[in-house]
Amino acid sequence: MKSGKRSIFPKIILLLLILPLAIPVLIPEVGLAYSGVTYQLRSNEKIIALTFDDGPHPIYTPQILDILDQYQVKATFFMIGSRMEEYPDIVKEVSARGHLIGNHTYTHPDNLRTLSPKELKWEIDQCQLSMQRIGGQNTYLFRPPRGVLNSQIIKILQKKGYTIVLWGICTHNYKAPTPEMMATRVIDHAHPGQIALLHDGRTDFRWKEVVATRLIVENLSRQGYRFVTLEELKPGDKPH
């Protein structure tokens, strides 16, 4: 009996260690929420915000831009600073076509909670400088990589004047391996003010997101939805 209890105890400890790391990523799906973080737009109108993370990408971002142009849709792109430096022409094209650019850190650390305050501020500031210099935009919208947050990160961002934006539904899910299923996730969860998360960079299988984007836009347009950028949010103050 004692042996059985000892074998269970390490598993409980491991679960307690892993759970705090998993919860921030799962928050939009399970309905939990951080105070002071935006998950949806406040609106009774049939509006929805498409947001794209991890770009720019030399292939997939232009393809998505062409689809958005075809349907006269505007979106918000949360870009990685180092990738903006690598593909400046694409960043300029995103801005020139009337889309919004947000801050997604400079190097996309997998877990911001492991960074020191100094390291976190560097990630934020360097990305913001790239946005300003290359994209000509100075919006203070921030989305943490993988949605990972804690009270200290939120406090630092709010002190710098950023509006922190997560999402209500994401196309990327192990239950949705095809573009059609990815699009269905967004379509089935559409409601006034929904913020949808898609991806356009970092990996070479984002072609699924390209296909899903067209399916989402076509379907929700037929339902009478209007696509907006996150400019619908009240902008934050300028960083200190």
Active site residues: 53, 199
Q: Which residues contact 3 (CB under 8 A, 6 or more apart)?
A: none
In the chain, beta strands by DSSP E: 37-38, 47-55, 76-79, 100-103, 141-142, 163-165, 169-170, 194-199, 226-227
Residue 22, phi then psi, degrees to nearest 5: -80, -35
> Are 95 and 139 spatial neighbours (Cβ–Cβ below 8 Å)?
no
> Are 75 and 50 spatial neighbours (Cβ–Cβ below 8 Å)?
yes
Which secondary-structure segment (H or E) carries 217? helix 207-222
Q: How far apart are CA 53 and CA 80, in angstroms?
A: 8
Q: How far apart are CA 227 and CA 125, in angstroms?
A: 29
Q: How far apart are CA 127 and CA 92, in angstroms?
A: 15
